[in-house]
Amino acid sequence: MPREYTYGPFQSRRLNLSLGVDILPRKKCCTYDCVYCEIGPTGPTQLVSPEFKIRAKPSNNFRKELIDILKHVPHLSSITVGYNGEPTLNENLLDFYNVAYKVREELNWTSEKPKLTLFTNSSTLYKEEVRERVKQFDLILAKLDSATVEDFERTNRPHKDCHSLKEIIDSLIKLRREMPKENKLAIQCLICNSYKEDFVSNSNTENITRLAQAIKLIKPNLVQVYSIARIPAQYYVFAIDEVTKQKIATKFKNIINDDSVEVKYY
């Protein structure tokens, strides 16, 4: 049976052995068009408002597909929803979660059960019903890599209906407060460099300082600083080096100044 929902499992830098789950239609569908996106540019028909709703429910094949793969991978670390755009646009996200949760509970694992993990670009979290769904996941990987309006516009290139950066940061603060204590929030900061003289990348000092200040308010469990690892949507951006990642992580730690917030770079 051809696969309908899953990718991998593959070894991930931040999740170890992870099975990807795509709950969007086959085409990319996102509220952003990030310059560094490793899926490719978000075309005009693929760039959608955060109010856009996808109503795809899991078919019976979803459960079967998960079991067929996972029975061979008892050492899996994460079942990870994301990969082809913004998964919270699918209003049936919790139906997928519930199927994956049941399958995880039914199967035998050699060590810890895999986490149920969700990627989000944070653009839909201003909606209470989306936060309600998202907070069920064991681990939420929420994007925040721009903290000035200029960097947000340049780097993430949001749909015109996206809410302001301030509202996005406020919704992450709310999500953190509303989440069950046992679940974890990681803020993901993809920082890139630029070859183009007239393109200021999000590695600029002002953005890094403001990001750290925003993260201090959010108080996530973890901050992940990383960079481009595959071909980006725009040719003019490229990965920052290891020394720069380390410097950014150190600056974050100094400004956040909170031992409960772990800062890692990859």
Which phi and psi angles does 128 have, rounded to 5°? -60, -40
Q: Does 62 contact ligand SF4 by CB under 6 A?
A: no
- Site size toward ligand SF4 (CB under 6 A) is 11
Q: Residue 178 to residues 38, 97, 129, 130: CA-CA distances in angstroms? A: 31, 18, 12, 12
Q: Which pairing describes strands 139-143 and 184-190: parallel, antiparallel, or unpaired?
A: parallel
β partners of residue 47: 30
Closest distance between ligand SF4 and the C-beta of residue 228, in Å? 10
Q: Does 39 contact ligand SF4 by CB under 6 A?
A: yes
Q: Does 14 contact ligand SF4 by CB under 6 A?
A: no
CA dist 263 and 254 (Å) reads 10
Give the residue, chosen from 5, 15, 18, 42, that forms a contact with ligand SF4 under the rule CB under 6 A. 42
Q: Residue 53 to residues 46, 77, 88, 100, 200: CA-CA distances in angstroms? A: 13, 30, 9, 21, 33
Chain Cα centroid distance, residue 87: 9
Contact pattern from residue 69 through residue 88 relative to ligand SF4, giving x for each residue in contact according to CB under 6 A and a dash for the rest: ----------------xx--
Q: Does 58 contact ligand SF4 by CB under 6 A?
A: no
Q: Does 188 contact ligand SF4 by CB under 6 A?
A: no
CA dist 160 and 99 (Å) reads 34
Q: Which stretch binds ligand SF4 (CB under 6 A): 9-17, 36-44, 99-107, 195-203?
A: 36-44
Closest distance between ligand SF4 and the C-beta of residue 7, in Å? 14
Q: Does 202 contact ligand SF4 by CB under 6 A?
A: no
Q: Does 89 contact ligand SF4 by CB under 6 A?
A: no
Strand residue runs (E) in 78-181? 78-81, 115-120, 139-143
Q: Does 20 contact ligand SF4 by CB under 6 A?
A: no
Give the residue, chosen from 80, 88, 121, 224, that forms a contact with ligand SF4 under the rule CB under 6 A. 121
User: Between residues 117 and 256, which has the closer beta carbon with respect to ligand SF4?
Assistant: 117
Q: Are 191 and 248 in contact (CB under 8 A)?
A: yes
* Residue numbers at the binding site for ligand SF4 (CB under 6 A): 30, 32-34, 37, 39, 42, 85-86, 121, 143
